[in-house]
A and B are shown apart, each in its own frame.
Chain A
Amino acid sequence: MTQASAITLIGWPRKLRTLFAVHYAEMMEFRAEIALWAVATMLPLIMMGVWAQAGESGKFPFSQVEVFRYFIVVYLIRQVTISWIIHHFEFLVVTGRLSPMLLHPVDPCIRFILMHLGEQLTRLPFALAIVGVFLFLYPQTITGGPEGTLWWPGWQNIVLAVIACYTAFLLRFFMQYALSMAAFWHERVAAMDAILFLPYMFFSGLIFPFEVLPDPLREILLWTPFPYMVWFPAALIVHGEAPILRGFLTMFIWTAVFFILYRYLWHKGLKHYSAMGA
């Protein structure tokens, strides 16, 4: 934080806004590719099909309408919590392009976060279009409530879920960013992310609602960071039955752990990096 402390705090909002605008414009250049990412992240919507059929059978603790709501919300949450920093960071370190960024008065981490937000905003319209297709196919998602009432999660749940969503983004981001620091010592860290991605895919609620898990397994998983990246914010919106206090507390603690880990490895890594003459 040494570089950052030199700057007065007053200038920050403007700086962040400018940087965000820059990165948003940069990402808009890649919109064709980013639109494809909206398709490439459709796994929850594919799983929605299988679970919807299962929900119809009455053998599961949820109805078909709840399945539609859950997975459409999960898909949207996925859109604002994706992190790809490890690929970018590997590229910056291997090609040495990290060096000029270090001379900048703003910590690269802040730029990376704004880059992600810019990319998310670019992707959002495409994701909304995809959600539109599914709502058209399955209008009962909205209308399927009791006595034909339209679906409305309530303001309180929405606000909580949005906060949870962005905390989830930071959690996922710092988890991956901490791992990215290995790039200072290794050439191919992006491949390591595959190992982290698996528990994320299977235990975050991305491909099944947590309600189907046997109780002991669910209890164990609730101590790990993964369910809070997808299931927790989704549950807040879909039925509001989520352990709110425990959820936010666990999220904050894990985010702090990964943040501290990243700061520690960052300082260690930078010494190693400059020692290589880069």
Chain B
Amino acid sequence: MPRHLNILRIFWSASISAEMEYRVNFLMAAITSVMTLAGTVLMLFLFYRTGYQMGGWPWRDALAVVGVFTFLEGTQSTFMTPNRTRVTEHVREGTLDFVLLKPVDSQFWLSVRSISLWGLPNILMGLVIVAYALVTRESSPHLTGVLLGGIAMLLAVLMLYSIGYLLSTISIWYIKLYNITMAMQALVETGRYPITAYPAAYQVFFTFVLPVAFMTTVPAQLMTARGGAGWLLGAAVVAGLLLMLSIAFWRFALRYYTSASS
């Protein structure tokens, strides 16, 4: 474990110094994040200004869902997106050989190789919005609820990672499918609003097929004391299963990897 932490430190400091070369891009990403968030809040306002409550969620609580979503978006673009595209690249160019030869677990290496600072504004703003929503709502939140919600947010990160890795593993067979994570991301957009704001068919799909409901609605639910610990247990089971699945699928896929040169 300390060895893995050391590897992380080396990888990430190298990534950050490379990233510093593109400071203007970071600024643009920050502007984009702020504008996207403003747009999302405007959208929410368009619903609530008529007195309509999305799926029975009051304004502050729905805002907490937006906060959780923004936080997840940030973690995704900081920790996951920069690594996902590389898996395909390694397969196409045959450089996956070198990764497999290294004395570290290949999934670990491929998942943490680089980070990007672009997601930081979203991570920070997401947390601020969650805090704002919780502090200003009528009944103040319970500490246990917030703690459970925090754990659920970490589980959500794990789910997002596992699904993303599952999909990039497909590139061992089909390089042309590298846009598959883009398609997934479009569907994850559902998480911007509480799951009960959607019709029944959407709710079923986004709970059991693509578990978006567990990613944003459940953490917000726990933090605003709208749901019991049973939901947390559900989230833990889903996250655990997805993680194990992503590991098993990667090991399975590697058996089919015939490097580019041989």
Q: Which residues of A contact B (CB under 8 A)?
A: 30, 32-33, 36-37, 39-43, 46, 49-50, 52-54, 57, 59-60, 137, 188, 191-192, 194-195, 198, 201-202, 207-208, 212-213
Contact = CB atoms under 8 A, between A and B. Distances in A.
Given A49-B198, A194-B28, A202-B42, 10 more contacts: A33-B177, A40-B182, A43-B189, A46-B186, A46-B189, A49-B199, A50-B193, A53-B197, A54-B54, A202-B43
Nearest to A56: B199
Interface string B162-204: 0000000000001011111011011101100100011101100
Interface centre among A40, A42, A212, A213 (most CB of B within 10 A): A40
Contacts of A53: 54-55, 197-199
Contacts of B190: 46, 49
Interface string B195-229: 00111011000000000000000000000000000
Interface stretch (B29-37, B131-139, B149-157): B29-37
Given A53-B197, A60-B50, A60-B52, A191 B176 contact: no
B176 A41 contact: no
Nearest to B55: A53
Chain A contact surface mostly: helix
B39 A198 contact: yes
B2 interface: no
Contact of B43 (A191, A192, A198, A207): A207
Contacts of B202: 46, 49
Contacts, number: 85
Nearest to A38: B183
Contacts of B178: 33
Nearest to A51: B47
Interface residues of B, number: 37
A194 B118 CA distance: 13
A40 B36 CA distance: 18
B50 A33 contact: no
B179 A43 contact: no
12 contacts: A32-B176, A36-B177, A36-B183, A39-B186, A40-B186, A43-B189, A46-B186, A49-B198, A53-B54, A59-B50, A191-B25, A195-B28
B51 interface: yes
Contacts of B100: none
Given A50-B54, A50-B198, A41 B186 contact: yes
B119 to A, nearest CB: 14
A54 B198 CA distance: 9
Nearest to A188: B25
Given A36-B183, A39-B186, A43-B189, A54 B52 contact: yes
Nearest to B188: A46
B183 A57 contact: no
Contact of A37 (B29, B55, B179, B201): B179
A39 B43 contact: no
A178 B201 CA distance: 42
A145 B42 CA distance: 31
A33 B197 contact: no
B32 A194 contact: yes
B20 to A, nearest CB: 15
A137 B202 CA distance: 10
Contacts of A32: 174, 176-177
Nearest to A37: B179
A194 B179 CA distance: 18
A57 B52 contact: yes
